[in-house]
């Protein structure tokens, strides 16, 4: 992707001895412009920016100097300052193609912000500036490409947000289900504990009744045994009485002899 559009023209400088302050100012502006180009080509972007600013301040007619100052600030990573320079350039130009170039570069600065910080607002701003640039120059293929790229990035971001929201909703449902299951488990455990207590209580009651039955049976058995003993004693006494009766009869019989 060509993210930088620059058209820097360097005019040859002829040293002229003139007395006019206006001419002297223009001369100094050209010197600053040339120094800025040298620093820019050497990768000294902050230094280049300062020379371009000085050139524009000495001669506001050098609008290309302020455009180049924006390029230098952009390459130095100072996107906010770059946008200020580009906007000054746009305000000084009526030519649509020149305005389109600056708008394109502002769009790139916001796109660069998005890539570095993942800031969706910057991505939306880049789309707006690319569209505005195309209104000025509808045939710029680089701007069309950058716009399509930015729109694609925006769509991907929205898809990610949708998926994130869906996943969050699913997580909430899973959490609700987990809590419901936990509550049901607690209810089941409470019921189990209550049933266990009831069983224990019923079991104790049955044991008490069983003991009572055993006690009753033992008492009945004792009474039955006592009855049996009494019957046996009666039988023995009856037998003894019979034996005594038989002895008396025998004695009386012997006396008759």
Q: What are the tens digits of pLDDT across the range 21-54? A: 467 768 888 999 999 999 999 999 999 999 999 9
Q: What is the pLDDT of residue 250?
A: 47
Check whether 10 has a pLDDT greater than 70.
Answer: no
Check whether 247 has a pLDDT greater than 90.
Answer: no
- Token look-up 């019921």 returns 191
Comparison of pLDDT for 151 and 187, the residue scoring more: 151
Q: What are the tens digits of pLDDT across the range 130-144? A: 999 999 999 999 999
How many Å apart are CA 221 and CA 198, to the nearest integer? 34
Q: In 10 A of CB 181, how many CB atoms?
A: 10
Cβ contacts of 100 within 8 Å, gap of 6 or more: 133, 134, 136, 137, 140, 143
Closest CA to 112 of 75, 84, 81: 75
- Token look-up 């060509």 returns 2
| pTM recorded for the entire structure | 0.59
Q: What is the pLDDT of residue 125?
A: 97
Cβ contacts of 140 within 8 Å, gap of 6 or more: 100, 104, 133, 134
Check whether 231 has a pLDDT greater than 80.
Answer: no
Count CA within 13 A, CB hemisphere, residue 145: 6
Q: What are the tens digits of pLDDT across the range 76-132? A: 999 999 999 999 999 999 999 999 999 999 999 999 999 998 889 999 999 999 999
19 token code pair: 């007395």
Of 33-42, 145-154, 156-165, the poorest mean pLDDT is in: 156-165
Check whether 218 has a pLDDT greater than 80.
Answer: no
Q: What is the pLDDT of residue 164?
A: 67
Q: What is the pLDDT of residue 199?
A: 67
Can you give the residue ranges of every domain in the chain?
21-92
Are residues 32 and 55 in contact, defined by beta-carbon separation less than 8 angstroms? yes
* pLDDT-derived band at 7, boundaries 50, 70, 90: very low
Check whether 68 has a pLDDT greater than 80.
Answer: yes
Residues in the chain, overall count: 257
> Quick one: CATH architecture of 21-92?
Alpha Horseshoe (1.25)
Check whether 11 has a pLDDT greater than 50.
Answer: no
Are residues 107 and 146 in contact, defined by beta-carbon separation less than 8 angstroms? yes
Q: What is the pLDDT of residue 67?
A: 96
């Amino acid at each position: 992707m060509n993210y930088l559009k620059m058209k820097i023209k360097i005019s040859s400088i002829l040293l002229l001895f003139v007395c006019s302050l206006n001419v002297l100012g223009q001369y100094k502006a050209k010197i600053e412009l040339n120094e800025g180009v040298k620093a820019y080509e050497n990768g000294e972007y902050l230094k280049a920016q300062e020379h371009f600013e000085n050139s524009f301040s000495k001669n506001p007619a050098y609008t290309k100097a302020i455009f180049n100052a924006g390029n230098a600030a952009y390459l130095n990573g100072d996107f906010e300052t770059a946008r200020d320079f580009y906007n000054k350039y746009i305000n000084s130009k009526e030519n649509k193609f020149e305005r389109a170039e600056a708008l394109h570069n502002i769009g790139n600065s916001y796109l660069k912000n998005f890539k570095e910080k993942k800031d969706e607002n910057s991505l939306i701003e880049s789309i707006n500036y690319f569209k505005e640039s195309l209104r000025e120059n509808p045939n710029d293929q680089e701007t069309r490409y950058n716009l399509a790229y930015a729109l694609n990035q925006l769509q991907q971001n929205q898809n990610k947000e949708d998926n994130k929201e869906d996943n969050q909703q699913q997580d909430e449902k899973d959490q609700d289900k987990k809590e419901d299951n936990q509550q049901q488990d607690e209810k089941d455990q409470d019921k189990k504990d209550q049933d266990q207590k009831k069983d224990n209580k019923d079991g104790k009651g049955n044991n008490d009744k069983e003991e009572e039955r055993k006690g009753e049976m033992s008492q009945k058995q004792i009474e039955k045994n006592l009855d049996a003993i009494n019957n046996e004693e009666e039988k023995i006494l009856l037998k003894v009485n019979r034996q005594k009766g038989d002895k008396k009869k025998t004695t009386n019989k012997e006396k008759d002899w």
